[in-house]
Amino acid sequence: MASRKEEKERLRQERLRAEADEARSQRARALRLKLLGAVGAAIVALGVVFAVSVGGERGASSAKGGAASAGGDHAFAVGSPGPGKPAPMLKLPATSGRSYDLASRRGKRVLLYFQEGLGCQPCWDQIKDIERKPGTLAALGIDEMVSITGNDLSNLRQKASDEGIKTPLLADPGLGMSARWEANKFGMMGDSANGHSFIVVGPDGRIEHRADYGGAPDYTMYVPVRSLVADLRAGMRAKAS
């Protein structure tokens, strides 16, 4: 049997271990609180940076003419080349079976729709909704619309078939032509895909209206036809006045 002295020493040692454990627990809690405080401060700082960044992007969009839409209710930027500028070259293979050459369309008013491509279903819904109202573009004096993506022609033919799309689709793998129009500067994929841009080229080969909807901060990939038409009408009216 342990003596009273040994028992006393055992109890003392247990108390010391308990006190040491409690001290370690307190230090661990203090460290966790300190880390949580640091993380909270970092989150607040990131929030401030994000707010400034978004504000800067909105400001940049405004500087390009995109703080508010011209007639509809969707904001857009206006990239370069913009209204009044000569249309750059645009010659690409098309799902219509022949190469599409914008230069050969002189005398016609053409609506170019640069869009993200196969992975963007809202982009295809956009075309289908425009096609459901065939007289809408004609009422604006627009003779034809074509859509340009970075996909290859065989995939675009399949997509047109799957979606029942009649609008000619132009294949621009590598975005060589799209980059001339800076249409790949207004999307959520960096410059590796087009955004959601509508550009009207007049009968004289000059740009009459441009609206780049796809950029930051909203990355719009679908514009209701009513709003799109209002912007087209307002932009083309401004060019005519």
DSSP 26-62: HHHHHHHHHHHHHHHHHHHHHHHHHHHHHHHHHHHHH
Indicate if 109 and 228 belong to the same structural domain.
yes
Q: Model confidence over 122-135: pLDDT tens digits?
A: 999 999 999 999 89
User: Which one of 63, 82, 115 terminates a domain?
Assistant: 63
Are residues 107 and 212 both part of a single domain?
yes
The residue among 63, 85, 101 that closes a domain is 63
pLDDT of 44 above 60 = no
234 shares a domain with 154: yes
181, 219: one domain: yes
The model carries a pTM of 0.72
Residue numbers of the domain that contains 25: 1-63
- Please, what is the average pLDDT of the chain? 83
Are residue 59 and residue 122 in the same domain, yes or no?
A: no
CA distance 10 to 79: 82
- Domain stops at, among 30, 63, 96: 63
Q: CA–CA separation, 118 vs 10, rounded Å?
A: 76
CATH code (residue 205): 3.40.30.10
Q: Which residues is 86 bridged to in the sheet? A: 206
- Among 30-44, 138-152, 161-175, 223-237, the minimum mean pLDDT is found in 30-44
Instruction: Say yes or no: 143 and 96 in one domain.
Output: yes
Kindly list the distances between the CA atom of residue 170 and the CA atoms of 41, 94, 97, 100, 199, in Å, as whole numbers in the listed order.
50, 4, 10, 7, 15
105 and 6 assigned to the same domain:
no
The number of domains in the chain is 2
